[in-house]
Structures are given as C-alpha cells and as structure tokens.
Structure 1
Amino acid sequence: MKTGTKSNVLKLKKRWFVLNHNSLDYYKSSERNSSKMGTLVLNSLCSVFQPEERVHRETGYWNIVVHGRKHSYRLYTKMLNEALRWIAAIQAVIDSKTPIETPTLQLIRDIKDSSLNPEAVE
C-alpha cells in the first residue's frame, strides 16, 4: 500500500500496512524488525470510503480513505480490485465491533423513547 498527500503532484511514500482484529497498523518497511509508525484503532465509529474515479483519473492510483476517531489514513494502489479487497477487509473489522453509543445517539434514542410515551413529555 502507498500513502500520500496531494498538492499539485501526488507524492507517495511506500508504507506497509497490517490489518488485525482491532487496528490498522503501518510500518516504514516490510522487514520483520521494522518499527511501527502508527496505528488506527478500529471501532464501530470508524468508516472506510470507496475509491474515487476522479482521483484515479488525476493520479493513476485508486485511493481509499479510512477514518478513525482522530486520524484518517489514505491508501493508494494501482489496482482497483486490490482497493476493493482492502475496503472489504477493513469494513469487516469495523462491522465486527460492538456499536458505540455516542451522546448524540443517546439523545436520539431518548427522544424516540419519549415520543412513544406521551406521559414522559411535559
């Protein structure tokens, strides 16, 4: 996988990613003793986005974006089928996580519960 940022020209840095049951980790090289450079912990609030045709036309790479709580990873590959496999694998890990109820989701649930019980609403 390659990661990069976009200015006028896409400058990619080759990185090696390891997907496990809790996170997406990345390393500077594929060597066994390579140090971990970062971790994106995966939970039910994370999301992964499909490659954009526009980015492929502009760069020659298919990109996927994985959003975590604080960070996002942009992954690039020359092959669409590879990008789609990455998306499916990452989404499977996200889907395996117990849903996290945020304060906003709690409020929505409370409003729905209140609307079903007219005596609770004053």
Structure 2
Amino acid sequence: MNAHVEQLEFQAEARQLLDLMVHSVYSNKDSFLRELISNASDALDKLRIEALRNKELNADTSDLHIQLEVDKGARTLTVRDNGIGMTRAEVVDLIGTLAKSGTAELRQQLRRPRTSRTTPPPRS
C-alpha cells in the first residue's frame, strides 16, 4: 500500500485537549486503545459496505485487517488498518471530536434513499 503520510501539528489548545481526553475521558489506557481499534474496525466496515454498493470503487475486500505495530525503542504503538481511509478534510474535522468515528453518519447515510447518498472518493 502506497499511502501518503502527512504529519499534522496540534495547536497548543488541541494538545491540552488531547492530554485531557487521554487522562480524563479515557482514564484507562486500554479504553483509549479500544477506541482506536474500534475506529479501525469502523473503517473496514465502511469499505466493505461501499465496495458492495459501488462497484466502480473496485476495492479489494478479501484481506481487510487491523495491524498493531509496537516500537519499543520509540515507545509507540501504532494502530493501522486498510479500511476506507479519510480525506485530509475528514482528518482535520474529526481529530478534535471525542469518540466520533463516523459510524452514526454511516448509519444515517444507509437509511437515506440511494440517490441522496454520498460516495467517498477512491483512495489513491
């Protein structure tokens, strides 16, 4: 997978909010990790659904997976998936929203008549 990686810097207020979120809302590190894995799972579900609804998407859904990568030297744990992906605008919009993975929006979209649904752009 050739994914373009862009690093976005948090503003001071966003860093404080993120710190508050991790230490207050997610008082347990496992809860925070569970939220990240849940978001990855949502991305897989969205791709699977869109691939069924939109054959022009031409998405391979035969090997959808979530991968956890541990880097002990850097003391990081990376949660990676090969789901639907997000546009830059979606990342910027959602990054500061607690527990907003897009699942509610997906459910609302599935309830709308087919002609009013939006299809995400194909991943490059």
Q: Which has the higher contact order (CA 8 A, sep 6+)?
A: 2
Larger Rg: 1
Q: Which has the higher helix share?
A: 2
The alignment's TM-score, normalised by the length of structure 1, stands at 0.21
Q: What is the TM-score when the length of structure 2 is the normalising length?
A: 0.21
Please identify which structure carries the higher strand content. Answer: 1
